[in-house]
Amino acid sequence: MAVTLRVASGHLYGVALDYIPRRAASDLPFDGSDIVLRYIFEHHALPFEFEDTLEVWSVAILRYHSEDGCSQCPPDASLCRFQDGIPLGEMSFVRIRDYTRDPANAMTPGLHWSPAFEERMEVPAGDLLIMDRVRIEPPWRGFGIGALAAAEAIRRLADGCCAVACEPTPTDGDFENDKPGYPAAQAKIAKVWESVGFEAFHDGIYLLDPALRHPVDCRTKWQKHFGR
């Protein structure tokens, strides 16, 4: 199943972002409203071990142009190279169903149910959504596209979840956790996810509570940041 949704740039309310991208959205060669997310959910046709527990989503971050076309398109619309979208990045999410029903769930290291987890969440019952990976293509890094896309994807995928979890780490192989630049890169990525609504929990794990207003405000700030 593939679902494509356009990210609204909108004229929304919000205060200045606490995290400021190093590149201005106005420097992008396209409008924020051209950013589209395409959701793909795949599963085996035959039963498998975790079919009732795991739900895996892939989300493509794409650039589309308006229906009026653009100067880079040939006259023949069927040959338009933007027809399927230009890849800007990709994300992957894993949803663990009925997470809080099994306190000994072994598939989430560092995220076993605990009194601390229960106290942190406004509604500590339901599924757990893990933001497993967010990667932006190198030419488009530094604008905040990953934060905008993550905030919107979480809104779409976290319904019925008690929490969203992530571990801020670099996605490129150039950064191994024993290299000198790794801690600084990790701290920078953590700041990005804090701007989406995540907060430090423990052992490098960050949590977002979808029942709170804070993630909504964060998403609104990012939408306003890309609005023109």
Question: Other CB atoms closer than 10 Å to residue 78's CB: what's the count?
Answer: 6
Spell out the alpha helix ranges (H) of 113-173. Answer: 115-120, 145-157
Taking only Cα atoms into account, the Rg of the chain, rounded to an integer number of angstroms, comes to 19
* Per-residue model confidence as pLDDT tens digits over 58-79: 999 999 865 555 665 655 555 4
8 Å CB contact between 101 and 113: no
Angle between helices 214-226 and 145-157 (to 10 degrees): 140
* Per-residue model confidence as pLDDT tens digits over 65-122: 655 556 656 555 554 555 677 899 999 999 988 765 654 443 454 565 678 888 888 8
Which strand (E) or helix (H) includes residue 41? Answer: strand 35-41
The dihedral built from the CA positions of residue 219, 59, 22 and 12, taken in this order, carries a sign that is negative
Burial classification of residue 18, based on how many CB atoms lie within 10 Å of its CB (0-12 exposed, 13-18 middle, 19 or more buried): exposed
Strands 161-166 and 127-136: parallel
* pTM across the whole model: 0.81
8 Å CB contact between 196 and 219: yes
* Per-residue model confidence as pLDDT tens digits over 6-47: 454 432 333 345 788 999 999 999 889 889 999 999 887 887
